[in-house]
Amino acid sequence: MIFYFLESKYRKRTEHYIQQYTDYELITILGEGSYGVAYLLQHRKTKEQAVLKRLKANQLKPTSKQRFIQEMTLLQELQHLPVPKFIASGFIGDAPYFLMSFVDGYTFEKAIFEQQQTYSINDTISITKDLLYFVQQLHEKNIVHRDLRIPNVLVADDGLHIIDFGLATNIDAYFNLHGVKNPKKAPHPVSDLYAVGHFMLFLLYSIYEPQAKKSTTWQQELQLPVALQHYIERLLTIKTPFQNASEALQALQQLRVYSEH
């Protein structure tokens, strides 16, 4: 209850701050996650849109501030990649914020569940190649995203974009994967590859039509070509995992183009 009122106070502070101390106008609140709140802004003169991301009031402890500032720092290091462009940063009260460019597109989550878009096997392979190419560049910068879910991959006019680096971290070269059953939060490239595997399944399920009432495995339901099934199983660490994004991308490029069933 205390945090509810505190967050309400910070929302009012944020609106006042935007109006009085920036060159932007508040359009709407885009959304909020566990750590931050995102606001859509528009520049008063140029009319260009931007996003202000602020740390939530219940996350003002030092560890959360450090994670938030790390996200901002990582974003600044990736300006050559298709990620939001860093503009400025500051504090609203005790809450840090940063301003970044707005990517005018839609997430794969929206495409699948709201727009009812479907993705064939060939579509999925093509999109995943593009995604892995960017993941490869992330890893070359010694950064692992750790949250490559369908709400965090956008389609824009100029291609794919990756957003929300709130869980991103530097790769731990000494991290031991042995015995790790769920690597999605590991500070290791396999974390992003594991997420890419689930990303592919979401796309492939967009054309799935249930045939039986009894729940079965994705392997049984999707009935994918054997090579593609094995490829996804390697991403999901069911079979021997890929060691890095370069290896995963090369393997995907070598898969033959399948005819649709």
Indicate the annotated binding residues for ATP.
53
Short-list 111, 189, 118, CA closest to 151: 111
Tokens of 113: 């569940």
